[in-house]
Amino acid sequence: MKLYHNPLSPNGRRVRLTAAVLGLELEEKKLDFAKGEHKSPEYLALNPNGAIPTLVDGDFVLTESRAIMQYLASKKPESGLLPRDEAGRADVARWQFWDAAHFSPQMGTLGFEKLIKGMMGLGEPDGGKVQEALGNLRRFAAVLNKRLEGKKYIVGSALTIADLTIASSLMYAKQVEAPLAEFPNVQSLFSRVSELDGWKKTSG
C-alpha cells in the first residue's frame, strides 16, 4: 500500500498512526506543498481535491483520512481499532464525523494562524479568528470532556480509531497553546495516545 501525505499534516498523521498501531507497512510518498506537488496532474488524477492523504492499495484508491483509517482497521479486525458490532462501528464513525465537522477545524484554524502563517511569511495571526477558534474549541472540548468522564477511551473500554482520530487533531496543541488543561479528560486521552509506540514512530 502506498500513502501520499505530508508529515506536517494531522490528516496524514491519522493514517500513519493507524497503520503503525496495526503493524501495517506503508510505502510513504511525501508531497512537498511548497513545490505544488499536491496539485500536479499526476496527483490530481488520484485525488481530484488536491488534498492529502491518499491511499493506493492495488487498483483501489481511497481519499479522506478518516475513511482510510476505517479501511486499514478493517484489515485487522482482531485489533479492535474498529469494533465488530454495528453499534460500536457507528459510534466510532460518529466521533470521527464529529471531529471532522466540529473539533478539528478549530485546531486547523489555530494551526494556520499561529504556525503556518509565520512559516510561510503570510503575516501576523488574525486575532479575531484566533479568538473565535478558541471559543469554539472550548465549546466542543467540553462535549468530549463530558463524554470521557469515567472513561479511558471514547468508545467502549479499549483503544479505537476514534481516539487516534482526535489525538491526531491535537498534534499541535502545545504549539498553538490550546487550553487542554481546562479539559483534564481530553488531556488524559491525548497523553495516553501520545505515549503509544505508534505515536512516537510517526512523530516525524
Work out the percent of the chain whose per-residue pLDDT is above 90: 91
What the block records as the C-alpha cell of 138 is: 472550548
pTM of the entire predicted model:
0.95
CA 168 to CA 149: how far, in whole Å? 21
Provide the pLDDT for residue 120. 75
Q: What are phi and psi of 131, to 5 degrees?
A: -65, -40
Residue whose C-alpha is closest to residue 69's, from 58, 82, 86, 59:
82
pLDDT of residue 46: 97
Q: Can you say whether the dihedral through the CA atoms of 109, 39, 101, 147 is positive or negative? A: negative
Of the candidates 86, 54, 72, the residue with the CA atom closest to the CA atom of residue 165: 72
DSSP 19-83: HHHHT---EEEE--GGGTGGGSHHHHHH-TT--S-EEEETTEEEESHHHHHHHHHHH-GGG-SS-
Q: Phi and psi dihedrals of 188, rounded to 5?
A: -65, -40
Query: Range with the lowest mean pLDDT among 5-9, 78-82, 164-168, 181-185?
Result: 5-9
Report the half-sphere exposure of 6 (CA within 13 A, side-chain side).
15
pLDDT tens by residue, 83-118: 999 999 999 999 999 999 999 999 999 999 998 888
Distances (CA, A) of 87 to 82, 155, 171, 197: 11, 10, 28, 29
Note whether 29 and 4 are within 8 A (CB): yes
